[in-house]
């Protein structure tokens, strides 16, 4: 699945999101259950953008140079996942691009799709991410309270017993300057692939 060249300012975006995560985690304290080996959020597919895709491909290329055997295992898991998912893929299975239709049928297909499929970057034994430094933004923001469609969403394992006020006090603001949208537009203007995809298709190439 070809994608655009990773923008030079993507590392700036990563630093902004990481700083926001660190700040939210500090305020959350014990309410935040996220720990190495906790991988519930790594099972079931989710959409990522082309900036995430470029970052993942870059990370896998770096790993191939350092540890080709480990990188090959990730790629093989991705290829097997694509083979399993392709027949029901809610989009173009030849490119890995998801259907961007807002129809009820498209939403139903997506909601019913591959909910038990583990991420190919997830180590099958120890439950950690093997491309952690290159992970998508959604992976960096899952867990702390974050606004979505006007509501604060949190991982179901986190903030157990917390009041609404305690949750709100820990809200994460991952990209206040909307740099991600700017970088995505920059990629598309340079002829990069547009549209959302999933991790398996990115890492299977």
The percent of residues above 70 in pLDDT, for the chain, comes to: 98
Residues 117 and 200: their CA atoms lie apart, in Å, by 10
**15-54-149 Cα angle (round to 5):** 65
Average pLDDT over residues 110-128: 95
Tokens 């990481």 found at: 18
The pLDDT tens digits of the residues spanning 20-60 come to 999 999 999 999 999 888 999 999 999 999 999 999 999 99
- Contact status, residue 56 vs residue 146, Cβ threshold 8 Å: no
N-term to C-term CA, the chain: 6
Average pLDDT over residues 74-88: 97
Write down the pLDDT at residue 78. Answer: 98
The pLDDT tens digits of the residues spanning 49-63 come to 999 999 999 999 999
Tokens 């991952």 found at: 174
Look up residue 149 and give its two tokens.
């469609």
pLDDT level of residue 5 (50, 70, 90 thresholds): confident
């Amino acid at each position: 699945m070809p994608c655009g060249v990773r923008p030079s300012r993507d590392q700036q975006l990563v630093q902004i999101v990481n700083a926001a995560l660190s700040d939210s985690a500090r305020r959350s304290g014990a309410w935040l259950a996220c720990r190495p080996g906790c991988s519930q959020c790594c099972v079931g597919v989710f959409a990522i953008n082309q900036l995430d895709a470029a970052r993942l491909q870059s990370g896998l290329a770096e790993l191939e140079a350092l540890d080709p055997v480990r990188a090959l295992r990730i790629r093989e898991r991705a290829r097997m996942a694509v083979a399993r998912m392709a027949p029901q893929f809610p989009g173009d299975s030849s490119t890995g691009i998801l259907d961007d239709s807002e129809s009820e049928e498209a939403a139903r297909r997506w909601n019913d799709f591959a909910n038990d499929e583990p991420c190919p970057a997830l180590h099958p034994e120890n439950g950690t991410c093997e491309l952690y430094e290159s992970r998508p933004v959604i992976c960096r923001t899952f867990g702390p309270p974050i606004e979505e469609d006007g509501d604060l969403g949190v991982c179901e394992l986190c903030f157990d017993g917390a009041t609404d006020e305690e949750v709100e006090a820990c809200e994460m603001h991952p990209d206040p300057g909307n740099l991600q949208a700017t970088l995505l537009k920059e990629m598309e203007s340079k002829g990069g692939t547009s549209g959302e995809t999933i991790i398996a298709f990115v890492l299977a190439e």
